[in-house]
Structure 1
């Protein structure tokens, strides 16, 4: 697909400098570089300044409270790090924290008033491609540290190594690596129509492409056919890969595929989704234009919206 890497969180050419991760002295020198910046996250929410990310000097007192420090790479030569400040408790804890849509923002008393922690899903389309990749990387790796603090082999507490890109168990010496879960998301078409579905926890009227996790021992193509049939009873024939998107909510890699349906009857599995429907190109154009009362488009910035908009524009080759 010609436009594959223009999807949100797509490739911005970030230099991750993985060869430096094992060199603790080099990482320390980079952290002391006046050009270095630290991105703080609180409960998975990056720190923003205006429409962009807020980078703090490594010696900032608030930044130094974040743990662990992860080396993200170089942004046009400037070293970039990320750290988790989730141990901090704001004066008010919002009820929407962790919800599908969390509009709340939190300000830290030790930071300027124009700095605020905000949900990445709400702000991702405001970011430059480089900022988006850095934010997605920071959120994904710090979430992994938060949920994988103990050795999966012996249960002992593990510790970050390799500039935050691995964890090691001091007890049994087992090393652990960041987790990424492959997920297929499918543009299933039949003639002039596309198959859309909705989950019950989504915003009212929102429909999107079907998606599901790839199982062990399964190919991407097989996962597409299985998930579509399980959720809707629709059989899929030919499958082709289109584009991918890192989706750090919490740790998915969305594998965008196109599939051709060989049946049209829908029988929804209510355990999997709430409803599904065939939508014509003309109807989808009205959805994107906001002219439908019964269906709303997928979230802007998500690969579903990216694939659907390019299908409408006939740019999937």
Structure 2
């Protein structure tokens, strides 16, 4: 793969190709979520235990106001939590004329057990009903089979839900925090400090070599199922550039020196709060020394070897919704079989 080809385009990522405007300027509007949940063109994404409600057609469930009329209003507290995700017009809207506003409703983890009396009789509380009447899917499984707008909404909702769950108390003093700005900030009740959602950058890289022929390096992480191989990845450390993070992670994990590092694209990965920044890295050395801690195996593959091993089941690649899969298939030059 030539440098010109690598720089010609960014990788298309289904979690990042949205036609939805986040409309950040609206987040400070008083009672925004309360007003929007009563508008006919508003649609709501449901999140429960990090999973998403799925419609009967297999897509992301986008509920109209009437389906949620019995759910407590957002001004009544944080059970359940409501967030403003953004708005859309044109192709991303429910109606061709009026803009569609999108909300997220995050149900408490125990919503499916809520309102159960001491005899175990379920009186069909509204939150419990919502959990029971929808099929649920993780973002990894859902994103490859929905359109870009739905994938983006789902990713945004899951990321915000995870951040709020982890920041119910102030990281400085330990006192409770409250939700503000339609779900986009929290505030410490003791100090008044405003907290913002954070993203953890991580690098993910297709390490390649040219001699004796073009080859791709894939590794097997210690905690993965048998035969699972993927590109190398790791978190960026404080005070470290993305490029040097690529070089450090490759050297630490497999003992390979890397020189040229070229950016290819990025992907939000809210598990719980990562941003995967993708690169192609050119190896200067080829001997592989897996660290035995994070990686238990690493192999160089030619294109013919990779295709053979994937088709036979000897190698299992990451899912189609991941930037890791996109990096592998870009180097390969086309789609590979298997999920």
Are residues 16 and 2 of structure 1, via their aligned partners in 2, closer, same or farther at CA, if it must alter by over 3 Å? farther
- State the SS of the aligned residue for 2:243: helix
Aligned to 1:303: 323
Match for residue 44 of structure 1? 50
- What is the distance in 2 between the residues matched to 1:3 and 1:239? 15
Farther off after superposition, 164-173 or 62-71: 62-71
Q: Does 1:273 align with 2:280?
A: no
In 2, the alpha carbon distance for the partners of 1:194 and 1:233 equals 15
1:225–1:235 contact (8 Å) kept in structure 2: yes
CA contact (8 A) 1:62 1:110 kept: no
Matched, 1:312 2:332: yes
Contact 2:111 2:131 in 1 (8 A): no
Structure 1 residues without counterparts, runs of 5 or longer: 92-107
Report the TM-score, using the length of structure 2 for normalisation. Answer: 0.82
Question: How much has 1:204 moved relative to structure 2?
Answer: 2.4
Residues 111, 128 of structure 2: 8 Å contact kept: no
Query: Which position in structure 1 is the counterpart of 2:120?
Result: none
Q: How does 1:234-273 map to 2 (within 5 A)?
A: 234-273=256-295
1:97-134: CA deviations, max 9, x gaps?
xxxxxxxxxxx862497721222212211110000000
Whether the 8 Å CA contact 1:5–1:11 is kept in 2: the answer is no
- Following TM superposition, where does structure 1 have runs of at least 4 consecutive aligned residues deviating by more than 6 angstroms? none
Q: Deviations over 1:211-261 (max 9, x none)?
A: 000011000000000000000000000111110000111111000001100
- Bigger mean CA offset, 49-58 vs 142-151: 49-58
- Report how many aligned residue pairs link the two structures: 297
1:71 aligns with 2:76: no
Structure 2 spans left out of the alignment, 5+ residues = 1-6, 74-78, 94-98, 114-126
- CA distance in structure 1 between the aligned counterparts of 2:45 and 2:101, rounded to whole angstroms: 11
Note the C-alpha offset of 1:275.
1.0
The structure with the largest alpha-carbon Rg is: 2
Q: TM-score, normalised by structure 1?
A: 0.87
Correspondence list, 1:1-317, <5 A: 1=7, 3-4=9-10, 6-49=12-55, 50-58=57-65, 60-61=68-69, 63-64=71-72, 67-75=80-88, 76=93, 77-90=99-112, 110-111=129-130, 115-191=134-210, 192-287=214-309, 290-313=310-333
What is the deviation of 1:3?
5.0
Q: Which residue of 2 aligns with 1:95?
A: none
RMSD of the alignment, in Å? 2.2
In the other structure, the counterpart of 2:4 is none
- 1:283–1:140: structure 2 CA closer, same or farther, 3 Å change rule? same
1:63–1:83 contact (8 Å) kept in structure 2: no
* 1:69–1:164 Cα contact (<8 Å) kept: yes
| 1:273 CA displacement | 1.4
CA contact (8 A) 1:232 1:266 kept: yes
**CA 1:62/1:26 → structure 2, altered by over 3 Å: closer, same or farther?**
closer
Distance 2:243 2:131 in 1: 49
SS at 2:176 equivalent: coil
How many Å apart are 1:292 and its aligned residue?
A: 2.8
Between the aligned partners of 2:149 and 2:70, the Cα distance in structure 1 is 24
Give yes or no for contact 1:56–1:63 (8 Å, CA) kept in 2. Answer: no
- 1:210 offset after TM fit, Å? 0.2
| Cα deviation code 1:10-37 (max 9, x no counterpart) | 1313200000001124443322211112
